Amino acid sequence: MHLSWPGGPLRGTAQLPASKSEANRALILQALAGGGTLDNLSDAHDTQLMRRLLAAAPGTNVLDAEDAGTVMRFLTAYLSVTNWQGRLTGTARMQERPIAVLVDALRQAGARINYLNNEGFPPLELQGFAASARDAAQPTELAVRGDISSQYISALLMVGPRLPGGLRLRLTGHVGSRPYINMTVALMQLFGAHYTTDGDTLLVSPGEYQPTNYTVESDWSAASYWYSLVALAPAGSEITLPGLRQQSLQGDQAIVGMMKPFGIETTFLPDGIHLKQLPITASPEVLALDFTDCPDLAQTVAVVAAARGIPVDMTGLESLRIKETDRIAALQIELAKFGGSLREVTDGRFRAESSGFAVDNQSVATYHDHRMAMAFAPLALLGQLNIEAPTVVKKSYPQFWKELAKSGFVIEEAG
């Protein structure tokens, strides 16, 4: 796909997809509750895939989670406690993404799960839940590392009410992506679950979820690309994004503060936000940002930092290695094409910066990763640009290219 910008400020209103993080949790909770209505479900591939697999599960013994991490992890827990028996598989890349932490915990709770190929990785054979001989008055006690993917933790929490005696889940070590855990328990409460916390131990009471109606918020991860667009656009640019809440469950609302040093002012509206580009005021020689709680924002910020020539020290990137691709390696390769870099300056701290950054008809590889396509697309405001395999955006924001065209971008099929 060939992208170019005809000139002048970026202005208008852009439609966002619904949050797939909220939607995929709500779909699992709706299934466990046996009812309720969910409004504003996204047309994103991951959300539609979750809907299809939940509906198909009772009549099949093979389910394919494709490349969707939340679908694979949430379904592993859900299918275990609902005594589904069959094979849960995914793409070649999904079969390289570890799942042992979740499987080990579910096995301790009574799930019968086998690995069909490589130990610790999908595909999985699920054989239902073993009958428990222990005292059901006591909660199932599990301990998992807090620095693993929060999707493992959320998967266990959501099935907690179905475990004998409920669940006492102890998170050990440093806890990352905490907003996603908070989102999970907040939605669980909306569906009637009861939980308490004692430090980094969460106690989920046994019981049944209640059918509940819920409207999913628009996606702050998707909004981050519009922050990037306004930051790189000509002076006077502004955009309105409907459907976002000031009191949000989504950790990626952190983009509001992260983009202030890049000159983006956020105004909350009754139903959404308004972004406006302001002159950049004095900033530290090197900006320091921690992505532990919002790793999906890392690609967006790294590209903007390099393009604007504002060095950013980025920490909390550990989970990027096991996403749809190794996102750190992918960023390093693609930024280098423009004169940018992402280098590890100390253990776990990466600096995004540039020397002579220029956009001149380069081609960006997307590595089967929707966020690579959307993080680099805003560079077309600085020069002509090609995006390889642009359909990857269907995973989370299927209308992304249509919204860019509506806002004034010239989009053509590349030869």
Q: Is the distance from CB of 292 to CB of 258 less than 8 angstroms?
A: no
For 197, counting Cβ atoms within 10 Å of its Cβ (0-12 exposed, 13-18 middle, 19+ buried), the class is exposed
248 is in an annotated binding site: no
221 is in an annotated binding site: no
For 283, counting Cβ atoms within 10 Å of its Cβ (0-12 exposed, 13-18 middle, 19+ buried), the class is middle
* Closest CA relative to residue 82, chosen from 25, 23, 161: 161
| pLDDT confidence of residue 135 | 59
| pLDDT confidence of residue 134 | 52
Q: Is the distance from CB of 296 to CB of 371 less than 8 angstroms?
A: yes
Residue 311 identity (one-letter amino acid):
P
| CA gap 352, 328 in Å, rounded | 11
Reported as type and span, the H/E element at residue 243 is none
128 is in an annotated binding site: no
| pLDDT confidence of residue 177 | 77
Give me the tens of pLDDT residue by residue for the chain, a chain 415 residues long. Answer: 999 999 999 999 999 999 999 999 999 999 999 999 999 998 889 999 999 999 999 999 999 999 999 999 999 999 999 999 999 999 998 999 999 999 999 999 999 999 999 999 999 999 998 876 455 678 999 999 988 888 999 999 999 999 989 999 999 988 877 889 999 999 999 999 999 999 999 999 999 999 999 999 999 999 999 999 999 999 999 999 999 999 999 999 999 999 999 999 999 999 999 999 999 876 668 999 999 889 999 999 999 999 999 999 999 888 777 677 899 999 999 999 999 999 999 988 999 999 899 999 999 999 999 999 999 999 999 999 999 999 999 999 999 999 999 999 999 987 6
| pLDDT confidence of residue 211 | 98
69 is in an annotated binding site: yes
List 67, 296, 313, 369, catalytic entry: 296
What dihedral angle (degrees, nearest 10) is formed by the CA atoms of 323, 326, 327, 330?
A: -150
Task: Establish whether 296 is a catalytic residue.
Answer: yes
**How much of the chain is helix, strand and coil, in % rounded to 5?**
40, 25, 40
Tokens of 227: 């922050």
150 is in an annotated binding site: yes
19 is in an annotated binding site: no
pTM (2 d.p.): 0.89
218 is in an annotated binding site: no
For the chain, domain boundaries: 2-17+218-412, 20-215
Find all residues with CB under 8 Å of 247, minimum gap 6, and list them. none
| CA gap 72, 70 in Å, rounded | 6
Task: Give the DSSP letter of residue 277.
Answer: E
145 is in an annotated binding site: no
End-to-end CA distance of the chain: 8
Protein fold of 20-215: UDP-n-acetylglucosamine1-carboxyvinyl-transferase; Chain (3.65.10)
| CA gap 367, 56 in Å, rounded | 30
- Domain covering 2-17+218-412 assigned CATH 3.65.10.10 in the classification: yes
- Fold match between domain 2-17+218-412 and domain 20-215: yes
**Paired sense of beta strands 167-172 and 201-204, if any:** antiparallel
| pLDDT confidence of residue 283 | 67
Cα Rg, the chain, nearest whole Å: 22
